[in-house]
């Protein structure tokens, strides 16, 4: 009888460990992003260019970030992209940039953002 309850206890511990690991993996993979961006608007500019206005929310607005903003042409292909520096303390304030496109752009969006700011953007 003793061996049966020890085996049951060990099985219970293993199930508990598996549940904790599953919860951690769900939190890491499905939790909220540390940086989110929203495209506010865009307008066509002369010379196959587009001005894009967007806002960024971060979990830590003391850190600089970079966002990749892109245009799309009529076929749906990417027409141009640009890395935009989001300076510290700029959380939620609209940012604007102009992107040159390979042909006439029809839409624009923020592809994604990261705290991994390239060196060329972080130089004064």
The string of pLDDT tens digits covering residues 68-120 is 999 999 999 999 999 999 999 877 789 999 999 999 999 999 999 999 999 98
Give bridge partners of residue 57 from the DSSP assignment: 36
Q: Which residue has the higher pLDDT, 27 or 15?
A: 15
Separation between Cα atoms, residue 23 and residue 89, nearest integer Å: 33
Q: Is the pLDDT of residue 62 over 70?
A: yes
- What is residue 98's predicted lDDT score, i.e. its pLDDT? 97
Whether the predicted pLDDT of 45 surpasses 80? yes
Percent of the chain's residues with pLDDT above 70: 77
Which pLDDT belongs to residue 79? 96
Is pLDDT at 20 greater than 60 in this prediction? yes
30-35: Cβ within 8 A, 24+ apart: 32/59, 34/58, 34/59, 34/60, 34/115, 35/59, 35/65, 35/67, 35/113, 35/114, 35/115
Mean pLDDT for the stretch of residues 52-63: 92
- Separation CA 54–CA 65 (nearest Å): 14
91 phi, psi to nearest 5 deg: -65, 120
Q: Decide: pTM greater than 0.85.
A: no
Compute the distance between CA of residue 68 and CA of residue 97 in angstroms, rounded to an integer. 11
Between 71 and 24, the higher pLDDT residue: 71
Task: Round to whole Å and give the CA distance between 94 and 57.
Answer: 10
Q: Average pLDDT, whole number, for the chain?
A: 85
């Amino acid at each position: 009888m003793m061996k049966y309850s020890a085996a049951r206890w060990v099985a219970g511990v293993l199930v508990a460990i598996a549940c904790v690991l599953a919860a951690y993996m769900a939190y890491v993979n499905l939790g909220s992003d540390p940086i989110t961006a929203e495209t506010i608007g865009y307008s066509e500019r002369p010379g196959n260019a587009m001005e894009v206005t967007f806002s960024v929310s971060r979990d830590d607005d003391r850190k600089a970030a970079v966002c990749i903003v892109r245009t799309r042409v009529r076929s749906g292909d990417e027409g141009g992209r640009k890395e935009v520096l989001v300076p510290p303390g700029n959380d939620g304030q609209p940012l604007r940039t102009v992107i040159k496109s390979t042909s006439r752009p029809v839409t624009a969006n923020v592809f994604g953002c990261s705290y991994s700011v390239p060196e060329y953007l972080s130089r004064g």
